[in-house]
Amino acid sequence: MWLIRGSRGARPLRPAGGGWPGAVLFDRDGTLVHDVPYNGDPDLVVPVPGARWAVDALRAEGVALGVVTNQSGVGRGLLDRRAVLAVADRIERLLGPFDVWAVCPHAPADGCRCRKPAPGLVEGAAAELGVDPARAVVVGDRASDVEAAEAAGATGLLVRPGGPDLRAVVAGLVGRR
């Protein structure tokens, strides 16, 4: 697992303890940005509608933000770390800073503990943020995102075409705080 401290890492978060969730961990492809398979090109990054609003609303509440993303293109030899970081940099430029990025660079056959639906990315990101996984929410577009959340003791929420979109899911979270 690659654990990359986001560009907001130096900025102190509000003290944990107030409100739920303490952290929201977003899947990347198909959740924050449109899914371009094995994308390593920053120019192809396009946020989904409402993404900037969603992350800003959570930042305003003092919620720690992370990204938990499977990038099997690395394990398959289609991407390298530099490309993954270049895409992350573009996403932060478009959506603002995240506190941590947790990336699984393995191929499915590697049998690692971080590739979702395994819990490693969620556990690693929560630990890096100092947030109990029970106070973390994972937002994703696939069942494996929810399964990874639940395996880590966190809560998983799905965004779906025709179902709740990112804006609706995050509005629900903000409304509960």
Site of interaction with Mg ion (CB under 5 A) = 27, 29-30, 141
**Active-site hit among 27, 99, 141, 145:** 27
Q: Say if CB 99 and CB 6 are below 8 A apart.
A: yes
27: annotated active-site residue: yes
Residue 116 binds Zn ion, judged by CB under 5 A = no
Q: Using the rule CB under 5 A, which residue among 28, 115, 135, 142 binds Zn ion?
A: 115
Residue 121 binds Zn ion, judged by CB under 5 A = no
CB atoms under 10 Å from CB of 163, counted, come to 10
Only segment of 81-89, 94-102, 109-117, 141-149 that touches Zn ion (CB under 5 A): 109-117
Q: Using the rule CB under 5 A, which residue among 51, 68, 84, 114 binds Zn ion?
A: 114
Residue closest to Mg ion (Cβ): 30
Question: How far is C-alpha 90 from the chain's CA centre?
Answer: 15
Cβ at position 144, least distance to Mg ion in Å = 8
Q: 167: closest CA among 58, 47, 50?
A: 50
Cβ at position 149, least distance to Mg ion in Å = 13
Q: Is 148 helix (H, G, I), strand (E, B) or coil?
A: helix
Q: 158: closest CA among 21, 24, 28, 31?
A: 31
User: Cβ closer to Zn ion: 75 or 133?
Assistant: 75
Cβ at position 104, least distance to Zn ion in Å = 3
Strand 100-104 to 136-140 pairing: unpaired
CB atoms under 10 Å from CB of 160, counted, come to 10
Q: Which of residues 66-105 bind Zn ion (CB under 5 A)?
A: 104
Q: Say if CB 154 and CB 133 are below 8 A apart.
A: yes
Residue 106 binds Zn ion, judged by CB under 5 A = yes
Structure tokens at 7: 């560009």
89: annotated active-site residue: no
Contact set with Zn ion (CB under 5 A)? 104, 106, 112, 114-115
Catalytic positions are 27, 29
